[in-house]
Chain A
């Protein structure tokens, strides 16, 4: 019986593997990608989200919390003093405050996933564990995968690859599909962009490829950050080396839907760019093709 901190269980996900799926989003990630589109997934502990667009400056939360002050039509929160008591959430009439993260047992999470079983049966879908990083709360993730395996439900994880080898070993034994991120081929650059080098990641990827795992490589591509010709050439080398051992590789173009969540956490986004136009994605695909690698665009 393991528990984990999650921030969402989302139904009718159709981009996280085959068929209609339910995705369990775990909180906590060992990486700090500068373009992260789920910034609320980075820290494992609970966090308070505040959406200023919903705030009417009515003063109800100010009355019950000494960390809040309204001045010049603006609400300031002294987040460093916040104890996450959650009273502001109850006090607010407009839902401007939300608690991100709750502890849940694998059994409970699986019960929620099972609610859409009838749709998995029709569509060939199932459960995807994402994050954050599923390997970071490995006991919980493995228990979920075991429960799904027992029911014969399709199971997948989305991973940055930076977990312990034993985790990937066990997940592979359980017949899991790995949606495996490759963010930069050069380790120095990987460290600059995500906070960690990529040796461990590449080694886990190679291990899975050698052990007949079901692998889809995912390439988060961010204009002017990891899309130079050199970046693409180096990523192509890795993909070519694994050819025949992975299902396919797909591009996940940068999008800016995470910006409002950064603001909700009281932080300033490190990357704030317009969404990637179709032409750019086509250009990337052509570039990969020049290095004899076929990549798809994620749908």
Chain B
């Protein structure tokens, strides 16, 4: 039984690694001092700094989670739910106080694809091709690309997660594995282990707003951030099989707190028998290949755009985001945009 105890934005950790622990939005020192990135002469040194930032921020998240869980267990027990979880009745303890047989804690993650895309771009342009120096990159990021349209264009056009490209997908797999393995070394106040997962639900826009410009072409404060374990919305352009291959590349067995994959299809796919059977075969292949969860929306993009414009006409339009369904018209404009942008595979 996992508890949703906290969440870590990997993209923010990369920002901290690039700016020696300083937040690009506020100028405050919020991370560790991991060194001036302009002096990193190899990609490995950058990754080392990034790992240190992730570990530092994760320890902070865990320490806060442990405190808040202690408070919850004391002041907000949940006897009904505890009755339904094995171990609680036998031990006479609430599920928040260590009653369950498996008492692990859960820290979720945000921005995996954006971080992988950013690292891939840095690796390629700064360390391999050497066509952009780290100093040029940092100054472009600091100005939110205002004075560097060429750098912005290069970075935005570069390969992205979600297209079955091993260069980026490998990095995504590595950063997720590092985060999950590190989490497993930390313990909850109840004595259990922490485990990782990723399901961004409605929270991704908030994490998008909390980072400055990034090397994947993310503009400062842009709410558009990767949707759970999938691509940054609109960046997976090779169709559903490629998008699925990218997320099948993760070591999903490590994610004991669950990995959510959202995929959206236009209505037209389901208008023919061939379309329906093709969808079934996509899902079968994903689960045979170790996929944990797939949330499916069937909509037309026009329908969503129309719904945003005339909410009164679409009061009954329900969308699924992760394991969560809501009325589209009740969502914030930011989240509505991110759902409209989120891959809609047409045929």
Contact = CB atoms under 8 A, between A and B. Distances in A.
A14 B241 contact: no
B347 A115 contact: no
B239 A299 contact: no
Interface in B255-283: 272-275, 277-278, 281-282
A177 to B, nearest CB: 15
B242 interface: yes
B242 A123 contact: no
Contacts of B274: 14-15, 299
Contacts of B241: 11-12, 20, 115-116, 119
A123 B277 contact: yes
B238 A11 contact: yes
Contacts of B149: 93
Q: Is the interface of B mostly helix, strand, loop or mixed?
A: helix
A116 B285 CA distance: 10
Contact of B164 (A19, A92, A95, A115): A115
B245 A115 contact: yes
Q: Which of A115, A122, A299 has the most CB of B within 10 A?
A: A122
Nearest to B285: A122
A95 B154 CA distance: 11
Contacts of A115: 164, 241-242, 245
Which of the four size classes fits the interface of chain B?
20 to 34
A119 B273 CA distance: 17
Contacts of B245: 115-116
B285 A119 contact: yes
A117 to B, nearest CB: 10
B289 A118 contact: yes
B288 A122 contact: yes
Interface of B: 149-150, 152-153, 157, 164, 238-242, 245, 272-275, 277-278, 281-282, 284-285, 288-289, 345, 347
9 contacts: A11-B241, A92-B153, A93-B153, A116-B241, A119-B281, A122-B284, A123-B278, A123-B281, A299-B275
Given A11-B239, A119-B285, 16 more contacts: A11-B242, A12-B278, A14-B347, A15-B274, A20-B281, A93-B149, A93-B150, A115-B241, A115-B245, A118-B288, A122-B284, A122-B285, A123-B277, A123-B278, A123-B285, A299-B274
